[in-house]
Structure formats: C-alpha cells, structure tokens
Structure 1
Amino acid sequence: MKNFGLIGAAGYIAPRHLKAIKETGHNLVVAMDVNDSVGIMDSHFPEAEFFTEFEQFSGYVEDLKQTGQKLDYIAICSPNYLHLPHMKFALQNGIDVICEKPLVLNAEDLETLKRYEEQYGAKVNSILQLRLHPSIIALRDKVAAAPIDKVFDVNLTYLTSRGKWYLKSWKGFDEKSGGVATNIGVHFYDMLHFIFGDIKKNEVHYRDEKTSSGYLEYERARVRWFLSIDANHLPDNAVQGEKLTYRSIDIEGEELEFSGGFTDLHNQSYQNILVGNGYGVEDNRAAIETVAEMRNAEVIDFPVNAHPLLEKVKG
C-alpha cells in the first residue's frame, strides 16, 4: 500500500483522484486546499489529515519524512500556475508526483522539472487520460494503418459554458490559467499530437478571454479548432448536464464518438503510474509548446483555414 498526499482537495478534479487512490488500494495520508469545502474526503479517506495552508501541509510532510514515514506520491490538483512550485516541493522531498493537466504553463518549466527529477531522484507523472480512451486509441490505429501520405482534415469544436464566476477566479487570468486554449484545450492538443504526429504549423485566428480559434497542421492532419466558454456560441443541440456543453471532433465528415468511457480513466492512469508506466515530462512537451505558442502568437485577421464558427464570433 502506497501513501499519498493531495494538493487541491477542493478542486473540481480532486474527487477523481480520491477515487483512484481508494480503488487502486492505497491510502491518502494528508491533503490541503486553501478552501475547506472538502467533505468529499469523508467518502474515501475520513482519517486523512487536512490543512488549509501550504506551510502547514509542507511541515507535516517533512515531519513524516523525518520519522521514516515518507509519502510515496503527491497528487497535484491545484490551480495551473501552482503546479510547478508544488511539484518542485514534492521532488525536493524525494516524493513522486501525479499532476493534472496542464503539467506546466511554459516549455522552459519542463527543463526545470527534468533537473529536479535528476537531482532528487523522484519522478513526475501526468494525467493524460485521453490517450487511454478506447475510441482515441482506435482512431490512432486507423491513422497509422492509412496510406503514409494520407493527411486527414479535422474540425475540433469544444464549447463548455461557464458563468460570470469563471473570469473572476484564477481561471480568468492568463498568467494563472494560461488562457482558454490552455485551461480547457490542452488535453485536446495532446490528443491530436498523440494521433496525428508532430506539429508543423500553429496559427491563431481569434483570441479573447472567453474564446480562442485557429489552425494546426500535424504530420497526418489539418485541424481547424474552436474553443469557447461563452454560452452565446453554443448550438441548439448542446448537451444539458452540469453545464451546457458541445463537443465535436469531425474527421472528414465522420464524428469521433468519445463522450462516454471517461469514468475509469483516472483509475487506469493511476494503475499505469503505480507499475512505472506513467506519462512523464517529455510526454507533455508537444502540448505545452503548442498552447504556449497560441498564447503569444500574433492573431491572423483574415485566415485561409478558418473554423466554420469563427464567422459567427467575428460577426
């Protein structure tokens, strides 16, 4: 049985990590979050220690180390801009990391993580669960089996409505979240790289605090993409759930269906990590470089390869 810590216990994604730790047969020793709405912990680890200040958490973890009860892993579900310092803390204490997406905000931070891994002998693992989805694996196999010179035409559309709170939280500040393309899109760009190979071109056609759109070329695909948290852009057939959402990946007129099958992907991620088959620092490089470039690229006003929804946004 491995011993875990968890940073960001009140976050949206934390319950998936709590469930994965529990269902893979391991133990949560300590958790922290600046917010104390963490009653979900009682469903999984009611005996776990909890702190609302990082200094208390770090002190507790270091005390465990001094008494020979060092944590094996720290799971990190904190805001994007805190991933790097929280990973550095774990690595400095010789503790392996399991970190949510995006691993970091900038490519140079990947080099920092590699230095820390080498210096302290601990390892970074990331959650790239879309790589484990059966539909995405099947598409990757289909692309690999296609003629080597075949380049696929793809439209990626993801709209997930968010209320006024979003822009007032850390998610609404580019320096903290990385912006819309990073915060809600980084796992899609990792998926595209995973399926279609190395990136060759990266254009941004529109970018504001709620919406981003552009064009990507990979070795095996030309991708027009559109991401938004603005409910005004949702089509009539948006899916009613926790929030109105529309997700579509169209590959030459054929829809990639992957709306289901997500329930156990964090569990599978943990199972792989625990046997030494997790996704590490370098596995994240392509997606991190992609979103960092999108954040800083000059916007092309009259693009040739515009996504169909861009005309609606620009009026």
Structure 2
Amino acid sequence: MKNFALIGAAGYIAPRHMRAIKDTGCRLSAAYDLNDSVGIIDSLAPEADFFTSFECFYEHAQTLRRSRANALDYVTVCSPNHLHHAHICAGLRLGADVICEKPLVPTPELLDELALVERETGKRVFNILQLRHHTAIIQLREKVRAAPSTTKFDVELTYITSRGKWYAESWKGDPRKSFGVATNIGVHFYDMLHFIFGALQRNVVHYRADSKAAGYLEYERARVRWFLSIDANDLPEDVKGKKPTYRNISISGDQLEFSEGFTDLHTASYREILADRGYGLADARHCIETVCAIRTAQPVRGADCEVHPYVARIGK
C-alpha cells in the first residue's frame, strides 16, 4: 500500500484521483486546498489529514518522512494550471514521485526544468494522459497502424463544452492561469491525436479568442481541422437546449464514438503508474509543445480545405 498526498482537493477532477487512490488499494494520508469544500473526502479517505495552508501541509508532509511507514510515496497535483510547476517541484522535494493532471506545465522550457528537479531528487513525474487507456482510442490507433503507411486520414475534431458566467470569474477564465481555452480543454485531445497519428508536422491557428479557438494540425498519418469552444452559442441547433456539450470526431468520414468508457480511466492510469508503466515528461512533451505553439501563434486565414467549417459561423 502506497501513501499519497493530494494538492487541489476541492477541484473538479480531485474526486477521480481520490477514487483511483482508493481503488488501487492505496491510502490518501494528507490533502490540501485553499477551499474547504472537500466533503467528498468523507466517502473516500475519511482518515486523511486536511490543510487549507500550504505551509502547514508541507511541514506535515516533511514530518511524515521521519517514519518509512508514513512517508509519502506519491503526491498528486490537481491544482490550477499555473500552479502545477511549483506544486510538482514541491512534491519531488518531499521525496515523493508526483502524478499531475494536464496540462503538466505551459511550456517546453518548464518541462526541461522539471527534468532537472527529477535528477536532483531522484524522483519522477507522471502525467495523466487518460485517453491513451480508452478502448476506442486504442482500437483506432491499431487501425491506423494497420493501414498502408502512405495513408493520411482526414480528421475533423469539434468539441464544444458550454460554460456559464462563473467560468470567466474563475481561474479557468484567466489566460494567465489556465493558459487559454485551447490549452485548458484541448490538451488531452492533442495528446490523443499524437498518440494515434504520430508526430506533428504542421500547426496553424485560424482563430483564437477567450472562449474558442480553431486551427489545422497535420500529423504523420492525419490532416486535422479542429474547433474548440466553451460558448453555448456554438452548439449545433439540434443540440442547443438539450445538451451542454457536443463532441464529434470524424476520421475519413467515420465517427469515433468514445462517449462511454471514461469512468475508470484515472484508475487505469494509476494502475499503470504503480506498475512503473506511467507516462512521464517525455510522453507529455508533444502535447505541451503543441499547445504552446497554438497559444503563441498569430492566427492566419487558411485554405478552405484546412479551415474547420465552424470558423465561418463565428460572428454570425
């Protein structure tokens, strides 16, 4: 049984990590968050110590190191995006391996810095890239690998997940903290595309705003038109008023159906990490480089065949 601490216990994604810790037979011994809306701990780890001061949490974690039975084996990071780097480094310096949500960090340079801290501490960083464990994604990857090597698939990715007015007031609506909508809601899709279709060859941005972004990505085995949005006005007419989210991925005319099967992906990720088969810094680099380029690129007018059809609807 491994000992875990969790940073960001009041966040949306934290319960999935708490469940994964419990389902893998491990123990959440300490948790931290500025906010104290963490009643979920009662059902998953009622014995865990909880702190609303990072200094107190860190000092407690240091005292745990005095006993091998109580010392932390892992620190899980679920804090806001802009705090990931600092919290990962803190976990490594506590003598623990670190598991962190996406995006790991905003830039490749910070990945390099994490690699230095890994070497200094002798500990490792693991990124949650849960779509790589989804059955439908694995099957599509095998299908692509089985196709002739000269085949390039035409992919259209549309992901609209409506967010209310609260979003703009939260850290997620602040690009200095979330690094923008393409990074915050898109990074796992870019990792998925790389996982399936290979190395990225071109990265063009056609539109970027606070609530949406669109562009073109060309991989070894695919040409991808993508559109991401948190604006409910972008939902298709037949979806508006019925569902807050629309997800559609077509591959050369075939629809990728993966709306089911998400429930246990974090637990699957934890099992792989505990078996020393987790995804580390090198695995995360590709999607970090992709979102960094999207975030800093100057949007351009693209060829019609490369522009997602939803771009033409913006402003109408």
TM tier, smaller: over 0.9
Q: What amino acid is the match of 2:133?
A: L
Deviation at 1:168, TM superposition (A): 1.1
Which position in structure 1 is the counterpart of 2:35? 35
Q: Where do 1:1-315 residues align within 5 Å?
A: 1-68=1-68, 69-238=70-239, 244-304=244-304, 305-315=306-316
Q: What amino acid is the match of 2:255?
A: E
Q: Deviations over 1:145-169 (max 9, x none)?
A: 0011000000000000000111111
- The 1:285–1:259 alpha-carbon spacing in structure 2 relative to 1, beyond 3 Å, is same
TM-score by length of 1: 0.97
Q: Deviations over 1:97-132 (max 9, x none)?
A: 011111111111110111111110111011100000
Q: Secondary structure at the match of 1:309?
A: helix
8 Å CA contact retained: 2:232, 2:240: no
Q: Distance in 2 between matches of 1:185 and 1:169?
A: 18
Q: What amino acid is the match of 2:28?
A: L
Structure 2's unaligned 5+ residue stretches are none
The CA RMSD measured in Å over matched residues stands at: 1.3
Q: Deviations over 1:193-239 (max 9, x none)?
A: 00000001000000000000000000000000000000000013438
Q: What amino acid is the match of 1:56?
A: C
8 Å CA contact retained: 2:227, 2:310: yes
Q: Secondary structure at the match of 1:287?
A: helix
Runs of 4+ in 1 over 4 A off after TM superposition: none
Percent of aligned pairs with the same amino acid? 58
Q: Distance in 2 between matches of 1:313 and 1:254?
A: 26
Q: Distance in 1 between matches of 2:135 and 2:239?
A: 24
TM-score by length of 2: 0.97
Deviation at 1:173, TM superposition (A): 1.5
The count of residues paired between Structure 1 and Structure 2 equals 314
Single out whichever of 225-234 and 57-66 deviates more from structure 2: 57-66
- The 1:240–1:9 alpha-carbon spacing in structure 2 relative to 1, beyond 3 Å, is farther
8 Å CA contact retained: 1:197, 1:220: yes
8 Å CA contact retained: 1:6, 1:31: yes
Q: Distance in 2 between matches of 1:51 and 1:239?
A: 41
Deviation at 1:93, TM superposition (A): 1.9
8 Å CA contact retained: 1:239, 1:245: no
Deviation at 1:172, TM superposition (A): 1.1
Q: Deviations over 1:219-263 (max 9, x none)?
A: 00000000000000001343889x700000011111000000011
Q: Distance in 1 between matches of 2:23 and 2:67?
A: 27
Q: What amino acid is the match of 1:28?
A: L
